[in-house]
């Protein structure tokens, strides 16, 4: 199936420190590529995979489940770990959920960075999802929550409901095992986010077992902050985080 423009993965072979960047639900690598290029220019080995069902069509995504998305992210983590001395995992929105799950399952991850990470939703229609997904294939989309004008993340215009229901199952697993997240953690949250409620970040900060936790508020961005006004801050903070923690030279 043809890809949406600029939805292809991005990879760069750099030094001994690797970083996995995971995009969000109904999004694509497009939302993470500028971040990936910044870290590649700094000398890191970078992987920005395209998760199954993403970057094509919402109908195709409705055939996938959270285990498929996680499986792709885990494969990329394994590949980076085979080539790098230290590996960091970073994610936006659902990519943050997957990053936390990877941290729960892989204690050797050197550090985790999440941006507007999701572990639940407060949408009233969430209670209908287990039932309505069998009748209605999709809801209107939540793409392009970006303050900066003229920026397109290339996400779907509809929310595929079978996939959305599976996303809720991912959140349940992440929450169940959140105490297994013990790695250094950098949490960044937009002050104004129209997709993921602030209670998500609050819950994460309250429940991880990490001793080393840093919180950064993004004052001039909406949900897709990696493409918004605060993107340079995200990139710089993540690089400083890795420089502080990496045991190997870049």
pLDDT of residue 140: 80
How many Å apart are CA 247 and CA 250, to the nearest integer? Answer: 9
How many Å apart are CA 100 and CA 123, to the nearest integer? Answer: 22
Nearest 5°: phi and psi at 247? -90, -20
Exposed e or buried b for every residue in 29-46, given b needs 16+ CB within 10 A?
A: bbbbbbbbebbbebebbb
Low-confidence ranges of the chain (pLDDT < 70): 124-131, 134-135, 248-250
pLDDT of residue 138: 82
SS3 10: strand
Domains observed in the chain: 10-245 (3.40.50.1820)
Indicate if 223 belongs to the active site: yes
Q: Which of 31, 47, 190, 193 is catalytic?
A: 193
Percent above pLDDT 70 for the chain: 94
pLDDT of residue 128: 67
Angle at the Cα of 180 from the Cα atoms of 174 and 184, rounded to 5 degrees: 105
pTM score, two decimals? 0.95
Indicate if 134 belongs to the active site: no
Task: Give the pLDDT confidence of 27-51 residue by residue, as tens digits.
Answer: 999 999 999 999 999 999 999 999 9
pLDDT of residue 137: 75
> Crossing angle of helices 231-245/33-41, nearest 10°?
50
pLDDT of residue 250: 67
Q: Which of 145, 166, 223, 228 is catalytic?
A: 223
Give the torsion sign (CA, 141, 66, 89, 41): negative
Q: Which of 28, 93, 97, 221 is catalytic?
A: 93
């Amino acid at each position: 199936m043809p890809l949406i423009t600029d939805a292809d993965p991005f990879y760069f072979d750099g030094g001994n420190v690797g970083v996995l960047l995971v995009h969000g639900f109904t999004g694509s690598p497009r939302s993470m590529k500028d971040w990936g290029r910044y870290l590649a220019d700094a000398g890191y080995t970078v992987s920005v995979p395209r998760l199954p069902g993403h970057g094509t069509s919402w109908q195709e995504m409705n055939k996938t489940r959270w285990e498929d998305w996680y499986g792709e992210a885990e494969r990329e983590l394994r590949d980076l770990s085979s080539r790098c001395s230290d590996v960091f995992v970073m994610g936006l929105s659902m990519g943050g959920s997957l990053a936390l799950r990877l941290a729960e399952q892989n204690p050797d991850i050197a550090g985790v960075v999440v941006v507007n990470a999701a572990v639940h939703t407060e949408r009233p229609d969430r209670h209908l999802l287990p039932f309505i997904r069998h009748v209605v294939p999709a809801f209107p989309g939540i793409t392009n929550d970006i303050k900066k004008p003229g920026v397109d993340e290339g996400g779907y215009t509809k929310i595929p409901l079978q996939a959305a229901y599976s996303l809720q199952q991912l959140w349940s697993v992440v929450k169940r095992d959140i105490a297994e997240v013990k790695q250094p953690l950098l949490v960044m949250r937009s002050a104004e986010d129209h997709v993921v409620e602030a209670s998500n970040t609050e819950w994460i900060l309250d429940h991880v077992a990490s001793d080393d936790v840093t919180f950064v508020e993004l004052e001039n961005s909406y949900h897709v902050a990696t493409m918004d006004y605060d993107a340079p801050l995200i990139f710089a903070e993540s690089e400083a985080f890795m420089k502080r923690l990496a045991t190997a030279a870049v």
